[in-house]
Amino acid sequence: VSQSRYLHASGENRILFDQTEIQKELDGRVVAVRAVIQDVTEARQAQQLLEAQRKFNEEILDNLPSEVIVLDHQFNIVLLNKAAEPDPSRRKELTGCYFESYCDAAGLSNASKKDKLEKFTSSAENKQSVSWLDELTDGSGSRRFVLRNVFPYFEGSHLKYMICYAIDLTDRRQMELDLESALHQTRIYLS
């Protein structure tokens, strides 16, 4: 089995796939040679185009500032972008794992994991997107507000993917809280 390139009479480079089988007698004499030669140029070009498109799509997803996680129909991780998991080796390690592995890596409680899985299941069963606001507190006591969205992607009537993305609204939410506090202080002052 081999692959080779040749220059067609038209001046175009072509790719040939060659598979040769030699049949010998017990004494080593060649009694038959079968060869299959196939021009695979278009197939290779299509494969290269698909690979280039895949890399382009991954580049877009990896450079979004929002977390993007794609799960398969059984909630196994198909894709994590850089915002969801900055460490490339960790992203690779988590790909193919059940979603709870990502939750464990993020330090989520069992109640939080259960809540997320219920939302995913509800979204898939109702064939509708689901959104919610998470209030997260890190070890130093800092609060983050993250808007999470999940929507099911169906092929025909079969769930193919769950697409999850998150937008950090901490700055906006903090401004709202500051405004509410200022309004409350103003009401007290005016009373």
Query: What's the CA gap between 120 and 134, in Å, rounded?
Result: 15
Whole-angstrom Cα distance, residue 162 to residue 70?
Answer: 6
Question: Residues 47-64: pLDDT tens digits?
Answer: 999 999 989 988 888 888
**Nearest CA-CA partner of 33 in 17, 18, 16:** 18
Q: How many CA atoms lie within 13 A of 31 on its CB side?
A: 6
pLDDT 10s digits, 148-166: 999 999 999 999 999 999 9
- To the nearest whole number, what is the mean pLDDT of the chain? 88
List, for residues 89-123, the tens digit of each pLDDT value. 999 999 999 998 888 877 778 888 899 889 999 99
Three-state DSSP class for residue 176: helix
Task: Report the pLDDT averaged over residues 63-70.
Answer: 90
- The Cα–Cα gap between 166 and 181 comes to 27
Strand partners, 153: 161
Burial of 60 per CB tally in 10 Å (0-12, 13-18, 19+): exposed
Strand partners, 64: none
Which has the closest alpha carbon to 166: 142, 141, 131, 129? 131
pLDDT of 6 higher than 80: no
The answer to whether the CB of 89 falls within 8 A of the CB of 114 is no
Q: Say yes or no to pLDDT of 137 above 80.
A: no
Quick one: pLDDT at residue 50?
93
Structure tokens at 85: 């998991």
Predicted pLDDT at 41: 87
- At 128, list the tokens: 């509708």
Strands 77-80, 2-7: parallel, antiparallel or unpaired by DSSP? unpaired
